[in-house]
Structure 1
Amino acid sequence: MRQLWRFGLEQAKSCIFAVVIFSALAITQFIEISFIHRYDFILIICLLTQLLMLTSKLETWDELKVICVFHLIGLALEIYKVHMGSWSYPEEAMSKVFGVPLYSGFMYASVASYLCQAWRRMDVQLMKWPPTWTVAILSAAIYFNFFTHHYIYDFRWIFKAATILLFFQTIVYFKVNQRTYKMPVVLSFALIGFFIWIAENIATFFGAWQYPGQSETWEIVHFSKISSWLLLVIVSFLIVAMLKHIKGKDNGNYV
């Protein structure tokens, strides 16, 4: 129980960025702010949180670089998906770009922030990591499938099968109170994707964005979205892992 508590505590510390975003969504849902649009206010909170985490050394410069990459990747996906009618941001804001508030990129960045912080806090190591070029191709293919499936065949199940085959032997090792544990990396993908789906339900309840079926009244996000988040988690994990792997080789250490 002590180890489980410690594990939960380290996970909670790694989720600071996400907790701030959800708290801002919840507070602004029930407390009206007259002098500024809600989405703009959340963006300011996200920027201040990012600055505070960096200056307090809760986040490193290298982690900030990774988070910025995810902000851009997420924002590009958001703009496209809103244009295609997959979901919407119905409220007004000064910081909207093509119908998407800029704070939305921080929701993707919070996933990267969690991965980076958990990696550092629990000294994550990967064993039997496949060739980096195969990981890069799979990550790019999964990401672009989010765009192309509106026009051509949806390859998501093929990519899931490819992920299992590619990472079948890959094991993730992590430490809790100096005791080392391990699990298949594919299982970690599934667990993170499931918890993000739970977070998505909380976010839509507080009006972070709206799916078409939620325009009249809130309803639980369809279970099929777990599949989408699973793929996004895979992309996020692989990008962070590749960067860690490359940095580890440069420093003479292997991730």
Structure 2
Amino acid sequence: MFIQNNNANSAGQFFKKAGSTITMNGDTTLYAYPHIYGSDWINVEYYLDGELVKSTNEIPYTVQLSDIKGTHNLRVVSNGNNGTSMTREYQLVSYAPAEKAEDFSDTSYLNNGQKNAVNYTISNDIMTGYENNTFRPDATITRAEFAAVICRMMGYNVGENSTFTDTKYHWSSKYVNACVKADIIHGIGDNKFAPDNYITVEQAVKILTSAYGYANSKTQYPDGFMSAAQKYNLFDNVTSSRLGTDVKRIDVAVMLYNAAKN
């Protein structure tokens, strides 16, 4: 059994083998690849909570599930023309796409300012949650992911690939290049960007303050950029503004929200 993962970021992840629990955001497509020895014709039946949803003998035995909410039992029965059958059981868990902080399962402990920041980034399509209905506030964020977030927030035109040697064929290449053209990203030297490295507080602050014009190329790194962030209250409600600290997703959301309020 394979599931179409509509939230995948790469073609290699678009179809994934289903485990005992299948998570989805309301809609998904399932594909069955049964093998019944001695059978040259197979019919596949999909049952949701005991009720037949679809019966098909057309490869790849596809079923589209839509507007599903909550937790359900999915039973898949494959019947061969030799009289042999095979049954598989799955738990189907569907989450509605989160539209605000309260919709996520892991944001209840956030303070009001942090929840407002999550609401801002979600409602403006700047950041998204994960398919298991989590926001992962304490997860760190890579330099590539931060570049993509900045592009979405600033509305940069994303067109050409980056010329950094380690980013040219990276998924974030066009986002990074857009930030370079905006003169807010300059790499780490030796024509490299290190897209998969986690971004630190001072690196994120440099990019964000430059994007908003709070600092420029003449600003001293990192102290000048950190001072600009403090001046414009970008650190209000962040969990850590200590130099060298890898930035958490919640702190990215908070700094973006604080910048947008100015």
Q: TM-score normalized by structure 1? A: 0.28
Q: Relative contact order (C-alpha < 8 Å, sep 6+): which is higher? A: 1
Say which structure is richer in helix: 1
Q: TM-score normalized by structure 2? A: 0.28
Say which structure is richer in strand: 2
**Higher-Rg member (1/2):** 2
